[in-house]
Amino acid sequence: MKETIVFVHGMCHGAWCWEEQFIPYFEKLGYHCISFNLPGHETEGSTRNISYSLSDYVQALSKAIEKLDEAPIIIGHSMGGMILQHFLQNGTCKKAVLMSSVPPSGALFASLSVIFRYPGVIPFLIRRNLLGAFKKYPHLMFNKASVTSKYAHRMCAESFRAYLGLLFPILHTSRIPLLVIGGSEDGLITVREFASTANYYKAQLSIIEGGSHDLMLDETYEQSAKAIEKWIRSFE
């Protein structure tokens, strides 16, 4: 059996986003794959208001890791990437992958950029309805209508409290081998931010041409999976 990979989902998502394509891909390669729902994300499509802090999410990841016999590889997507960065302040793993991740500088720039480009999100932010904003502008997450129709309805409400925690930078350096991967057509995080994250951590950078924010759900998800696989194998 190869190494264990723990997948951490992002905002408004759940374990399902990994179970669709990434987990089957890596399990076929022999990896032991684990995904879990962050608190409040257990029900697909739920609009129920939740209030958890970013620290609550970091603790959920820590609990998942504590159950393992050995340190895993951790892949964190979007908000999950920032959760992973916070986890690494005190926790550890063999390797870490920041996919479409909030940069260590925080999500403030990305948030202001979205507001500037799509002022229609403002009423949703006032009502603390992040899910509503993503449903109005699904291209922030997905790059094709076919992908949107397949997955957008499965997204759930997000904690605004946790979102506010994403706005603040994290001061942290890591000696863990780290890969930063993002899509060139990401609607939330720019290629420049991905490069800045890689530079901050002195990590390898992989940009997927045409890739969306939700790289693991793209029709061309294998490009991202193969890039991660290649990086993992480079340590063998």
Residue 6: what residue type?
V
Q: For 168-210, what is each residue's pLDDT tens digit?
A: 999 877 889 999 999 999 999 999 999 999 999 999 999 999 9
Picking from 1-10, 23-32, 56-65, 181-190, which range would have the lowest pLDDT averaged per residue?
A: 1-10
Percent of the chain, pLDDT > 70? 100
The pLDDT assigned to 173 comes to 78
Bridge partners, residue 98, by sequence: 76, 180
Three-state SS string over the chain comes to: CCCEEEEECCCCCCCHHHHCCHHHHHHHCCCEEEECCCCCCCCCCCCCCCCCCHHHHHHHHHHHHHCCCCCCEEEEECHHHHHHHHHCCCCCCCEEEEECCCCCCCCHHHHHHHHHHCHHHHHHHHCCCHHHHHHHCHHHCCCCHHHHHHHHHHCCCCCHHHHHHHCCCCCCCCCCCEEEEEECCCCCCCHHHHHHHHHHHCCEEEEECCCCCCHHHCCCHHHHHHHHHHHHHCCC
pTM above 0.95, yes or no: yes
Q: For 150-166, what is each residue's pLDDT tens digit?
A: 999 999 999 999 999 99
Q: For 29-59, what is each residue's pLDDT tens digit?
A: 999 999 999 999 999 999 999 999 999 999 9
Domains and CATH numbers, the chain: 4-233 (3.40.50.1820)
